[in-house]
């Protein structure tokens, strides 16, 4: 069975988001072994670019410890897909990869070293979403992709 690692920087504080994450994780378990890795976010000492980069670099050190298989990061500069295109992409990846790691960085982004390690970058929108909500959005789209691949009625 396909292994999917979702490596996330930061924790989820709101119960309604935790409940949504748990629900989609349960649904995805029919199609893949999903492991969510939560890394404590390093907070910048100030809004100065240097301090932000130091925090992102510390996050990167932890992220690298958990990357397995084919790494993909979620990045606003990445390629955008429709749900059907994302499903096709996932299906094609599973032909040659037994394990895929998706990375959701910190609220300040992802350190360039991690972006360079990743084989691909995916953007969900040019819009900005709350950082904690992105995990739910990603898991919903992952579940949707599996239902499209398996011709299960969910996607409209």
CATH of the domain at 59: 3.40.1280.10
Give the count of domains, the chain.
1
Question: For 99-137, what is each residue's pLDDT tens digit?
Answer: 999 999 988 889 999 999 999 999 998 888 887 899 999
Residue 103, classed as helix, strand or coil, is strand
Residue 112, domain member (yes or no): yes
49: phi then psi, degrees, rounded to nearest 5: -55, -40
- Check pLDDT > 90 for residue 17: yes
Per-residue confidence band for 9, with pLDDT thresholds at 50, 70 and 90: very high
Residue 136: domain span: 2-149
| Stated length of the chain | 156
The pLDDT confidence band at residue 155, using thresholds 50, 70 and 90, is low
* C-alpha gyration radius of the chain: 15
Does residue 156 form part of some domain? no
Does a structural domain hold residue 25?
yes
Which pLDDT score is estimated for 130? 81
- ∠ CA 31-37-42 to the nearest 5 degrees? 150
Rounded Cα gap, residues 39 and 116, in angstroms: 19
Q: Please give the Cα distance from 38 to 13 (Å, whole number).
A: 12
> Which has the closest alpha carbon to 36: 145, 132, 154?
132
CB contact set of 3 (below 8 Å; sequence gap of 6+): 32, 33, 35, 68, 69, 98, 99, 100
CA 16 to mean position of chain CA atoms: 19
Q: Are strands 32-39 and 99-104 parallel, antiparallel or unpaired?
A: unpaired
Q: Give a yes or no: residue 16 inside a domain.
A: yes
**Does the residue 59 lie in any domain?**
yes
Is residue 154 domain-resident? Answer: no
Most distant CA pair in the chain, distance: 49
46 occurs within a structural domain: yes
106 falls within a domain: yes
Mean pLDDT: which of 10-14, 24-28, 52-56, 111-115 is highest?
24-28
**What single DSSP character describes residue 44?**
P
Residue 156 pLDDT: 63
């Amino acid at each position: 069975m396909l292994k999917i690692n979702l490596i996330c920087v930061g924790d989820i504080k709101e119960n309604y988001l935790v409940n949504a994450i748990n629900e989609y994780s349960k649904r995805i378990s029919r199609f893949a072994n999903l492991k969510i890795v939560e890394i404590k976010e390093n907070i910048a000492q100030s809004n100065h670019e240097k301090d932000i980069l130091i925090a992102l670099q510390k996050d990167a050190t932890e992220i690298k410890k958990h990357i397995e298989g084919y790494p993909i990061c979620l990045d606003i500069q990445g390629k955008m897909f429709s749900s059907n295109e994302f499903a096709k992409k996932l299906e094609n990846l599973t032909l040659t990869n037994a394990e895929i790691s998706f990375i959701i960085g910190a609220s300040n982004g992802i350190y360039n070293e991690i972006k360079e390690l990743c084989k691909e970058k995916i953007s969900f929108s040019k819009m900005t979403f709350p950082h904690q909500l992105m995990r739910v959005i990603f898991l919903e789209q992952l579940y949707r992709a599996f239902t499209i691949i398996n011709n299960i009625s969910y996607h409209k």
